Every structure is written in structure tokens, then in C-alpha cells.
């Protein structure tokens, strides 16, 4: 099997949904270059994945309707960028994807208590959706918890959903001398990690053969590298964003997410540089001043070399 065979097999058996793939490519390839792309360049970037002009236009239109993308016009040309409102969540998601697994537990839990009747049904539904997306669990009616919450992210979430001053947020730890079950057992009660484990194992099974091919093959062609890098991030993102991001001390051993991260890192290292050549060549077709990747790009996966 060659790398092209692997790509063809992937696209035939697990083709990415076009709207979701647009989000992947924006985060992985467009944001490091300033965050704006002309529609023609975006069409060219999606073409190797079998996404045609019509399907792409439908996808970006829907993402704009949902508040993810903003559109600008310059004569007959259109460009797209991530909206300021979506950028915070977008940045948070991609920091999770590229960051090493180094989260540790200090023995406490963050609790979000919705109280009795303090928020309406629509607010409650929005809050639940956002907290679950951030990896919180419902440990009791009206009580969400996480053992390693980011206070800044939580504040942004509560502000975004309009409930910041309508509920209680606190930290809890075991009370010495009171007995009770160890707080680490809340993980067993609050999270079913079986789907996450299966997702990571499936990712590893899918991409381990590709890594072997890359390590034994000549340098990738730019377009080939771009396709591989994009499919890698897309597949890893799809699994990793369902991971509740629990501290390493609270995860089962061995944790398949650790192997999946190292695999993603290895494939990214082997594909990112020629992929950048393809991205820059594509962006320059419509924008001679398209920026090179910024410094933060080279910090991905613990540092690119």
C-alpha cells in the first residue's frame, strides 16, 4: 500500500462531512495564516477531498448562519473568516487538540449548581449543552462537575449563555474525618468513557499503518501532505473533542488517548512542512500578501521541527 492508496481508502470508507471538514481546515490551515480566506482559495483547498463548489458554498453559508463564519465582499469576490464571537470557542477547541496530555489533579472538583428555578428552560438547555461540550458531567440533578475546570473558560461559558449571575460556582474537596467514598470515584459515576476509549482505539488502528508508510516512504508531495494532515486533524478532532479532559490521575491505565496523541504528533511532524507549501501556494493564487504561519503554529503538538 502507498500513501495515495491509504488516502483513497480513507475517503472511500470514511469521507468527512463537508461542513465539518471546512471547520477543520479553518482551524488547522487558515487561522495560522491570519484567519481569512478567499472563497476561491477555499474551494481549491477542499477540492482534493471531493467537495465540489456547490457543496462548499452550502457549507460556508450554513456556518455563517450559525455564527461561526463571517463573510465579506470585494467586488465579485467573497472572503470568509471566523467571527469574533466564535473565535474564543474555536481557539479553545484547537488548544485542546494540539496540547500535550499534562493535566494533573489537585484533589478538588469544580461544581456548577443551577439552583431551583433560577434559570429558564432555554437557558438551562444552552447551559447543559455548553458544559457537556466542555467535559462536565451531571453528578446530581442541577449539579455539573469537573475535576480540572478552567476558571476563565467557565466564566466565558456562563457569560455566553447569560447565566453568570444566576447560579453558584464553587470548589469541593474531601472533608477530613468525615469518611465517604473517595472523590476520584465520581469519575465512575459521572462519565462513561467507553465511547471515548473506542474512538481513540479506532483512530490508532486507522492511522498507525499510515505512520509506517510515511516512515518508509520518500518525502510527501505538498498536496498529498495537505490531504494527510487535514484528514489526521479531522479524525483526531472528532474523537478528542468528546474526551472530557480528565486529569491523568483519574484516567484508566493504560489510557488510549496517550497513544493516540503520540501517533497524531508523529504524523503531523512528517506532514506539516510540505502541507504548508501547498497551503501557501493555494492562498497566494488570490492573495499575494497571504501571511506565513504565525509563531504559535510551531508550538503545536509540543513543538514542530
Q: Which set of grid coordinates corresponds to residue 208? A: 498507525
Q: Count Cβ atoms below 10 Å from residue 260 Cβ, excluding itself.
A: 24
Q: Pull the grid cell for residue 180.
A: 465517604
pLDDT digits (tens), the chain, 305 positions: 899 999 999 999 989 999 999 999 999 999 999 999 999 999 999 999 999 999 999 999 999 999 999 988 887 888 999 998 888 778 878 888 898 877 888 889 999 987 666 788 888 888 999 899 889 999 888 899 999 988 988 998 898 888 888 889 999 888 887 777 887 888 888 888 999 999 999 999 999 999 999 998 788 999 999 999 999 999 999 998 889 989 988 998 899 999 999 999 999 999 999 999 999 999 999 888 889 999 999 999 989 87
Query: Residue 190: which H helix or E strand, with range?
Result: helix 186-190
Assign 28 to helix, strand or coil: helix
What the block records as the C-alpha cell of 6 is 491509504
CB 233 within 8 A of CB 28: yes
pTM, full prediction: 0.90
Amino acid at each position: 500500500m502507498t500513501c495515495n492508496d491509504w488516502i483513497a481508502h480513507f475517503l472511500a470508507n470514511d469521507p468527512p462531512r463537508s461542513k465539518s471538514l471546512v471547520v477543520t481546515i479553518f482551524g488547522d490551515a487558515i487561522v495560522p495564516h491570519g484567519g481569512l480566506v478567499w472563497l476561491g482559495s477555499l474551494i481549491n483547498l477542499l477540492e482534493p477531498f471531493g467537495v465540489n463548489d456547490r457543496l462548499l458554498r452550502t457549507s460556508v453559508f450554513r456556518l455563517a448562519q450559525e455564527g461561526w463564519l463571517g463573510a465579506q465582499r470585494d467586488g465579485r469576490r467573497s472572503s470568509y473568516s471566523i467571527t469574533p464571537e466564535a473565535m474564543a470557542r474555536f481557539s479553545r477547541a484547537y488548544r485542546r487538540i494540539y496540547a500535550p496530555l499534562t493535566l494533573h489533579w489537585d484533589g478538588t472538583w469544580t461544581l456548577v449548581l443551577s439552583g431551583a428555578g433560577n434559570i429558564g428552560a432555554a437557558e438551562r438547555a444552552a447551559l447543559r449543552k455548553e458544559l457537556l461540550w466542555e467535559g462536565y458531567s451531571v453528578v446530581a440533578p442541577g449539579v455539573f462537575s469537573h475535576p480540572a475546570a478552567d476558571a476563565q473558560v467557565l466564566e466565558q461559558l456562563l457569560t455566553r449563555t447569560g447565566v453568570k449571575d444566576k447560579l453558584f460556582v464553587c470548589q469541593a474537596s474531601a472533608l477530613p474525618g468525615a469518611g465517604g467514598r473517595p472523590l476520584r470515584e465520581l469519575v465512575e459515576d459521572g462519565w462513561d468513557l467507553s465511547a471515548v476509549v473506542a474512538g481513540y482505539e479506532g483512530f490508532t488502528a486507522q492511522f498507525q499503518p499510515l505512520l509506517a508508510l510515511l516512515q518508509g516512504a520518500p518525502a510527501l508531495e505538498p498536496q498529498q501532505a495537505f490531504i494527510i494532515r487535514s484528514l489526521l486533524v479531522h479524525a483526531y478532532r472528532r474523537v478528542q473533542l468528546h474526551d472530557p479532559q480528565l486529569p491523568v490521575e483519574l484516567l484508566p491505565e493504560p489510557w488510549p488517548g496517550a497513544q493516540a496523541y503520540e501517533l497524531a504528533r508523529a504524523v503531523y511532524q512528517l506532514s506539516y512542512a510540505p502541507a504548508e507549501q501547498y497551503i501557501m501556494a493555494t492562498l497566494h493564487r488570490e492573495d499575494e500578501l497571504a501571511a506565513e504561519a504565525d509563531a504559535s503554529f510551531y508550538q503545536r503538538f509540543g513543538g514542530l521541527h
